[in-house]
Amino acid sequence: MQTISISEVQRNLHKLDDFDIVEIVDKKRKEVKGYFLDKKYHDTVEQLFQTNNHRKNTDLETFRKLRKNVSHIAPEIDIIKMEDEAYRDLF
């Protein structure tokens, strides 16, 4: 995978035409800012996002069903706190 700095992309946008996947880095801060993917990968990436979204929704629905069971069995458990933590883990 090719690595290009932010300033290099700004000055020479046409360089992205030569690559399928490029890592964009901020050389001053020494951190990865993102990735450039060629348009031909759009459908694949979109499908991955949809699959991931479906998995998250399924996990959240499962958690909600379990939450109802827990509240009947052990009402002293702080369900709201558990839900916030699970939601943060999922998203």
Q: How far is CA 85 from the centre of its chain?
A: 17
Question: What are the residue ranges spanned by the domains of the chain?
Answer: 2-37, 42-90
- Mean pLDDT over each residue of the chain, to the nearest integer: 80
- Cβ neighbors of 40 (< 8 A, separation 6 or more) are 20
For 69-78, write each residue's pLDDT tens digit: 665 555 555 6
Q: How far is CA 54 from CA 42, 45, 90, in A?
A: 18, 14, 12
CB 28 within 8 A of CB 5: no
Q: Which residue has the higher pLDDT, 15 or 35?
A: 35
What pLDDT band is residue 48 in, cutting at 50, 70 and 90? very high
Dist CA 87 CA 65 (whole Å): 14
